[in-house]
Amino acid sequence: MRIVVIGAGAVGSHLAERLSFEHQDVVVVESNPVTAMEVQEQIDCLVITGNGSSQETLEQAGADKADLFIAVTSSDAVNVLSAHAAAKIGTARRIARVEDPQLRSGAAALGVDLLIDPGDATARDLELLVRQRGVSEVREFAGGSLELIGGHISADAPAAGMALTDLRQQMTEWSWLVAAIVRDGETIIARGGTRLLPGDHVVIMVEADKANSALDMLGLHLEPAKKVTILGATRVAELTAKRLCQQGLQTILVDQDPDRVRRIATENPRVVAVCGDPTDPKLFHSEGLENSDACLALTGWDEINILGSLVAKAVGIPTAVSRFHRLDLVSLLAGVGIDGGVSSRLSAANEILRFVRRGRIHSVVTFQDSDAEALEVEVDATSKIVGETLRDIHLPHDMIVGGVVRDDRAFVPRGLDRIEAGDRLIVIATPGAIHLVGELSG
């Protein structure tokens, strides 16, 4: 597949790296010569320096022959204009990152097939984390009946040091499984002989109404928040504050800019807006922020988010979640004061990769510190795996089926469960096996 990406910022470079690793034919267009050179040195793809909304540049990039066009610069207007130009020269499918509501309303008429809003997607992820405080990430499938939950195994967890085979023998019911483990930066698809170690970042698939028993074994405890402090007055912070207020949570937002604080307080009367330094411990005490259940550090700077999260933990806030632009910081800081991380880049990637996969793949989820993906794939009646048990399919070692959605029922399967036509399988796979996931559908 030939894919043209406009913009080599956080989102564009991440997508280009991921798609080129899968041997897609990726071309990146970037207006900044320095950024273009950096991307060319780091990613195995063609990089063109130029204006992504110029028809001449798009033709040079081969957009007229491209299967997919992705415009993800930091400018909504440039993204819409680029997609419009791509439509005029015949690009098959076009995606644009657009956050401005006014531009979004008219983008479809200009040839945009899919609009993505990373800020809104990140706010949704944060709402899930706050509702299930105590884990590092939560992804929902089957309308929330199945959840993919990430967290770090504590030293005193009952499962610490155990092999999965031994752990399963202690289970009274089969409602969850460990799908993958991230250890020392490497993603391991879990098997029976895999041993869980303290500090491991585990990703488990669980039937949502039975999550507590699984998390207890791993030393993770879900505690819904009632009071949340948000650091920063970015768009993501404001969208998140609105969502939390709608859920009935007491929400305090802290930022140093008096104009932004005043505007947020005026437009969102249910949000308590405080003007001050989000990294100042004295402010946390004077405003009673130390009594919060969770702190979400959502400024536009990683450094401030990290420091603000550490201050929040130091004054006694149980859970601190930080927004990251640099994903390499997520795995470095896990377990040293920051309980979870979110990234607009990952949120955007999830939306776009779902569109890239298409066909019988209904959703795609990526993770903070792992190159694995979770894909929801529908099994056609013609598939060779229909009627086979999971054990008989002999999946490769870098792939596992974590969940099955069948009619109005969603469950975590056993090895002897048979696949039926129309099943939706939730498959967790590392990059080397992504191309094989589509073969399961038939």
Are 323 and 373 contained in the same domain?
no
219: in domain: no
Same domain, 406 and 352: yes
Tokens of 208: 């949502």
Beta bridge partners of 275: 255
Mean of the pLDDT values across residues 247-266? 95
Structural domain includes residue 148: no
Domain membership of residue 112 (yes or no) is yes
Q: Residue 103: is its pLDDT beyond 60?
A: yes
CA angle 146, 169, 176 (to 5 degrees): 5
The answer as to whether 141 is a domain residue is no
Residue 129 or residue 380, greater confidence? 380
Q: Is the pLDDT of residue 266 over 80?
A: yes
State the DSSP code for 152.
Answer: E
Q: What's the number of CA atoms in the CB half-sphere (13 Å) around residue 135? A: 29
Distance CA 69, CA 3 (A): 6
How many CA atoms lie less than 13 Å away from 220 in the CB half-sphere?
A: 30
Mean pLDDT over all residues of the chain? Answer: 88
Q: How many domains does the chain have?
A: 3
Q: How many residues does the chain have?
A: 442
The predicted model scores a pTM of 0.76
Question: For residue 340, is pLDDT > 90?
Answer: no
* Amino acid identity at 296: L
Q: Are 339 and 228 members of one domain?
A: yes
Q: What is the pLDDT of residue 311?
A: 96
Of 170-179, 358-367, 391-400, 409-418, give the lowest mean pLDDT range.
358-367
Same domain, 417 and 329: no
Whole-number Å distance between alpha carbons of 245 and 243: 5
* 118-127, 244-253, 254-263, 404-413: segment of lowest average pLDDT: 118-127
Question: Mind listing the pLDDT tens digit for each residue in 35-83?
Answer: 999 999 999 999 999 999 999 999 999 999 999 999 999 899 999 999 9
Question: How far apart, in Å, do the first and last CA atoms of the chain sit?
Answer: 20
Distances (CA, A) of 90 to 83, 143, 204, 368, 417: 10, 36, 43, 35, 46
| Adjacent-strand bridge partners of 55 | none
Can you give the residue range of the structural domain that contains 87? 2-116
- The two tokens of residue 202 are 């585990």
429: which strand partners?
A: 373, 399
The 10s digit of each residue's pLDDT in 173-197 is 778 889 999 888 788 999 889 999 9
Residue 18 CA neighbour count, 13 Å, CB half: 26
